[in-house]
Amino acid sequence: MKYSTQLLGISNAIVDILTHVEPEFIADMGATVGAMNLIDEQRAETIYRSMGPATEMSGGSVANTVAGFANLGGDAAYIGHVHDDQLGKIFNHDMRSLGVDIRLQPASTGAPTARSFILITPDAQRTMNTYLGSCTELAVADITDKTVGIPKVILLEGYVWDIPEGPALARKTMEMAAEIGATVALSLSDAFCVERHHASFMDAVVNGAYIVIADENEINALMQTENFDESIAKLHAFDNMFVMTRSAEGSVIAQGETRIVQAAMPVEKLVDTTGAGDAYSAGFLYGWANDWQLEECARLGTHCATRVIQQLGARIEPGLIESYKQIDAG
Amino acid sequence: MKYSTQLLGISNAIVDILTHVEPEFIADMGATVGAMNLIDEQRAETIYRSMGPATEMSGGSVANTVAGFANLGGDAAYIGHVHDDQLGKIFNHDMRSLGVDIRLQPASTGAPTARSFILITPDAQRTMNTYLGSCTELAVADITDKTVGIPKVILLEGYVWDIPEGPALARKTMEMAAEIGATVALSLSDAFCVERHHASFMDAVVNGAYIVIADENEINALMQTENFDESIAKLHAFDNMFVMTRSAEGSVIAQGETRIVQAAMPVEKLVDTTGAGDAYSAGFLYGWANDWQLEECARLGTHCATRVIQQLGARIEPGLIESYKQIDAG
């Protein structure tokens, strides 16, 4: 089988606006700490007006993973919806500069490019307030033979279910993947998102998404359990491969009877946990797309996550695979 | 005398677009290493298309100083020209969020908000490529009793001379300052800028700008000497106060027969020298506007510069005066 691309990401294209705040600020804004809070345009204005100076960087969970995958040297493409404005240009530039093939043109009408205000508290936790804007206009009609091509892996994120045509376009993507022999990976995004769309996610896991990427809270939400051990026990009933990150406790890959446990790597200085899971996915999928052994996939994922949490923002400077080879040789 | 503001900055309002590059990239672009290179819109497109993923933050030399001054708790205002686009909104937001009083409305016509591609090489040096855009539309007519008010200090930058009405609006500003009893400070911007406008700068220094802020190369360019000792010797002929930064060799304040030498402070990890001089100016002027002794002004300036070079970008997180009080108590 000859694939035209290793990885195709389909997700919400977002520019992150990062700032440091005290915990009281988040309480005042009525946001849920550590979660992704969906906000409308008016709320976005209020938060922006109230917050301090910020730094802008391209973001979006699956988009971060696609960027990381390309940064590692992987061959990647992306479907996401931006407006033809300055933030949309920034988003596309950052993808293209890593070699990612952008499959949709920016829209000249409709809402402005999406932004997420990422409020970082002194404990390096981040609370996201996302105005979806142009993302909400991603449509079933954007998923075509031409925009999809023949990728080895198609990566979807749970957040796509938050946009009007999201569930339908995810379904269409999974059907197309089955036809062309692509593997679908689904990143569960966050535990609240899993709760919002539980039945639909479960259907996707059983009927289409072979690889399931989740953190501990997300897998517990999907399995409707109270703790990780209970979740792990329930996974036996599924044919999928589950890739699960557990912060300082490392990560676990579960597939059938196989269990691979990868410890976390040392962190000199924790700066900002934004993008840790996305970076892990980039490393893991890069290994997987290149037919590495699962242990090595988990190890590269861990390296990527370890690097991203020691800097501000969700995307890592180019040169990721070189730094991995260094630790591997060391 | 009752002033309405402590510090008013008048300068080019710019959003910085920062990225890490290898030295070869700068050579390929034909830019002068370590300098501010003025570029047109087409060149801006070429550089942006060729460079890697970037981070966006508000910038502009005097604007950085004004932001730092407000961050320290000073009372500041700003006159600069942005377009009513996303980058212009980002610029104004970051100023306002620190309490800076923005005196001009964004323009709904004309060129887009200015941007500077800041290319950071592994030695932490930065090469700027600035597309002035909307800045070039700042006009003499924007300098009025209403926009200026009665500030204690008016800070101008040499880069203002690079815009069409810059020399005339600088002259008008100095005349208004003389009438209202404001002190004018002139930051020389960079040595190439001093060479571009030498006669006009010299006239400003002799007839209007009491405080002259410069690094070693800039003061040598203004004094037309080969080294710092020769420049220092020539300063005796001027009535001005010269505030001069010398990177690792610290800073020197020269006024009449007074010479104050402040050593550099220890740097744990040099990340990016962007904004070092601007941050120094913020600290120095904050002390000066609050009638501190010159030694203390130089010390606060050094603290600010030391903090900014240990992070990415030209502006420091809020909480600057608190961190100074800590080192002062320590």
* Spatial separation of the C-alpha atoms in residues A76 and A154, rounded to whole Å: 10
Dump pLDDT digits (tens) for B101-112. Answer: 999 999 999 999
Please identify among residues 260-319 of chain A the ones whose CB lies closer than 8 Å to any CB of chain B.
Answer: 312-313, 315, 317-318
Q: Which residue has the higher pLDDT, A183 or B322?
A: A183
Residue A329 has a pLDDT of 65
Which chain A positions have a beta carbon within 8 Å of B315's beta carbon? 53
Give long-range contacts, CB 8 A cutoff, 24+ apart: A197-203. A197/A158, A197/A161, A197/A162, A197/A167, A198/A222, A198/A224, A200/A161, A200/A167, A201/A158, A201/A161
Which chain A positions have a beta carbon within 8 Å of B48's beta carbon? 93
* Spatial separation of the C-alpha atoms in residues A299 and B273, rounded to whole Å: 34
Residue A12 has a pLDDT of 98
Instruction: Give the residue among B282, B120, B98 at the shortest CA–CA distance from B187.
Output: B282
Fold observed for domain B11-329? UDP-N-acetylmuramoyl-L-alanine:D-glutamate ligase (3.40.1190)
* Spatial separation of the C-alpha atoms in residues B84 and B87, rounded to whole Å: 8
Residue B204 has a pLDDT of 98
- Domains of chain A, residue spans: 5-329
b/e map A19-38, b = 16+ CB within 10 Å: bbbeeebbeebebeebbbbb
Give the Å distances, CA to CA, from B166 to B64, B68, B197, B206.
Answer: 19, 24, 11, 18
What interface predicted TM-score (ipTM) does this complex get?
Answer: 0.91
Dump pLDDT digits (tens) for B28-37. Answer: 999 999 889 9
In contact, A57 and A313? CB cutoff 8 Å: yes
Cross-chain residue pair A57–B52, CB shorter than 8 Å? no
Dump pLDDT digits (tens) for A84-111. Answer: 999 999 999 999 999 999 999 999 999 9
**Confidence grade of residue B1 (pLDDT, cut at 50, 70, 90):** low
Q: What average pLDDT score do residues B312-322 get?
A: 85
Which residue among B90, B112, B318 sits closest to A56, beta carbon to beta carbon? B90
On average, the pLDDT of chain B sits at 95
A5-329 architecture in CATH?
A: 3-Layer(aba) Sandwich (3.40)
**Confidence grade of residue A328 (pLDDT, cut at 50, 70, 90):** low
On average, the pLDDT of chain A sits at 95
Residue A187 has a pLDDT of 98
Is the pLDDT at B263 greater than 70, yes or no?
yes
Q: Least CA distance to A112: which residue of chain B?
A: B86
Neighbours of A239 (CB within 10 A): 9
Is the pLDDT at A245 greater than 60, yes or no?
yes
Calculate what percentage of chain B has a pLDDT beyond 70: 99
Instruction: Give the residue among B293, B298, B329, B323 at the shortest CA–CA distance from B308.
Output: B323
Give the Å distances, CA to CA, from A28 to A22, A115, A131, A132, B324.
Answer: 10, 20, 18, 22, 29
Calculate what percentage of chain A has a pLDDT beyond 70: 99
Q: What average pLDDT score do residues A35-44 get?
A: 94
Classify residue A300 by burial, with Cβ atoms within 10 Å: 0-12, 13-18, 19+.
buried
Cross-chain residue pair A97–B51, CB shorter than 8 Å? yes
B49 close contact with A: CB closer than 8 A? yes
Dump pLDDT digits (tens) for A119-151. Answer: 999 888 889 999 999 999 999 999 999 999 999
Q: What average pLDDT score do residues B77-98 get?
A: 98
Instruction: Give the residue among B80, B72, B2 at the shortest CA–CA distance from B281.
Output: B72
Dump pLDDT digits (tens) for B185-242. Answer: 999 999 999 999 999 999 999 999 999 999 999 999 999 999 999 999 999 999 999 9
Neighbours of B44 (CB within 10 A): 21
Q: What average pLDDT score do residues B53-59 get?
A: 96
Distance from CA of B313 to the nearest CA of A (A): 9
Cross-chain residue pair B57–A58, CB shorter than 8 Å? no
Residue A144 has a pLDDT of 98
Residue A58 has a pLDDT of 97
Residue A327 has a pLDDT of 72
Give the Å distances, CA to CA, from B43 to A98, A304, B159.
Answer: 20, 34, 19
Is the pLDDT at A330 greater than 60, yes or no?
no
Write down the H helix ranges in B269-309.
Answer: 276-289, 294-308
